Amino acid sequence: MLRRTSFAAIVILLSASLSLAQTGEKIKVHIAFPPGNYTMTQTEQGDTTTTIAGQVIKNKSSETAMWELAVAKPNDKGDKKATLKLVRIKTTDISDKTTSFDSDKPAEGDPAKAFAYKPLIGLPVQIVLDSDDSVVEVVGLDKLWNELADKARTPEEKSILVETRMGLGDKAIEQALRRLECVAPKNAVSANDTWKGSMRVDLPMIGEIKARYDCKLQSVDAAAGGQVAVIASEGKYENTSAKASKINGIDVTVNKLEVAEKSILRVDVKTGLAQADQRTMEVSAEVKVKGEDGKDVNAQVKTSNSSTMTIEVK
C-alpha cells in the first residue's frame, strides 16, 4: 500500500506533466455573451486621498452590487441585445462621517445616496452586441442621470450624482465591457504566450482615455464542461486631452489622469463567457474646479482600488 506522502508526490508529478503537456496546446479565447440569463456580482474596496489647498481628505469605500443580465437570441444578422438590471446594492463611505445605502433597507440609508441609487434598482440598461459579440452601444443610464440632475437640490445630492455617473454612465459600462475584448487574444495562444491590447474611449467629464494592456495566458485550467483560460494583464490608462465639463452648473476639468491596473480574468474557452475578473487599480488625477466666485480650485486625487466581478448562469 502506498504511503500518503508517496501518493501525494505521484499526484504532483502527474499534475506537472499534464501542465507541461498543455503548454504547447494552442487555444482560441474569444469574449462572448451566449443567450441566456446570468447573475453578475461585483465587490469593490477603495482608499482615496484628496488634497485641496493643502487640506487632506481621506475616504474608505466598500460596495457590493448584484446585477441580472439577460442576453437575447441573435437576429437574422447575428446581432444581439442584452438587458442589464441592478437588483441589489450595498455601499458605504467612511470619511469625516460615515454614509451608507442598502437597497434592502432603503429608508435607513443616507438620503443623498438614496436619491442616486434608488432609481437605479430595476432600471433596464440596454446593451447592443454585434455578430461577433463586440459591444456596439450601451443606453439607459445617462438618461437617468440627466433627469436626476434637474431634481437635485442639496449639495450632497449634486455631489453623489457626479461621483456615481462617472462610474455608472453609459460610456463607463461600455468601456468596462470593451476592456474584456481588448484583454482577450486576437489569435490562438498557448500557456505563457503574451500579447498586447489597446483601446480609446471618450468618457463624459474626463475626455478621451487611451488604454494599453500587456497580457499573458497564465494557464488553461480544467473545469466542468471544458476549459477555463486564465489571462493575466497589466494596463495603463491616461487621458489624452483635458475636457472641460459643466456639472450641476460647476465647471470641472480633469487635467491629468493616470491609472495602473493589474487583473486576472477567467474565461470559459467553449462559451467565451467571462466567469471572473479580479482587478487592482492605482489612480492618480489632477482636477480643476471653477468655484462660484470664478476662482479655480485645484485638487489632487489618489485612489487604491480592488474589485472582483463574477458572472454565473442563473
CATH of the domain at 254: 2.30.230
27, part of any domain: no
Residue 20 lies inside a defined structural domain of this protein: no
Is residue 161 included in any domain, yes or no?
A: yes
Question: Which of these, 204, 201, 295, 199, lies nearest to 243 by C-alpha position?
Answer: 204
The Cα-based distances of 113 to 88, 100, 103, 173, 225 in angstroms read: 14, 7, 10, 20, 42
DSSP state at residue 266:
E
Query: Is residue 18 situated within a structural domain?
Result: no
Whether the Cβ atoms of residue 160 and residue 149 lie closer than 8 Å to each other: no
Within-domain flag for 225: yes
Backbone angles phi, psi at 19, to 5 degrees: -65, -40
Q: Is residue 300 part of a domain?
A: yes
pLDDT digits (tens, 9 = 90+) for 293-312: 677 888 899 999 999 999 99
Domain ranges, residue 40: 33-313
Q: Is residue 4 part of a domain?
A: no
CB 230 within 8 A of CB 217: yes
pLDDT, tens digit, 9 for 90 and up, residues 176-210? 999 999 999 999 999 999 999 999 888 777 888 89
168 belongs to a structural domain = yes
Under the banding of pLDDT at 50, 70 and 90, the label for residue 5 is very low
Q: What is the pLDDT of residues 111-125, one digit of tens each?
A: 999 999 999 999 999
Domains: count for the chain = 1
What is the reported pTM? 0.86
Residue of 155, 154, 92, 85 lying closest to 119 (CA atoms):
85
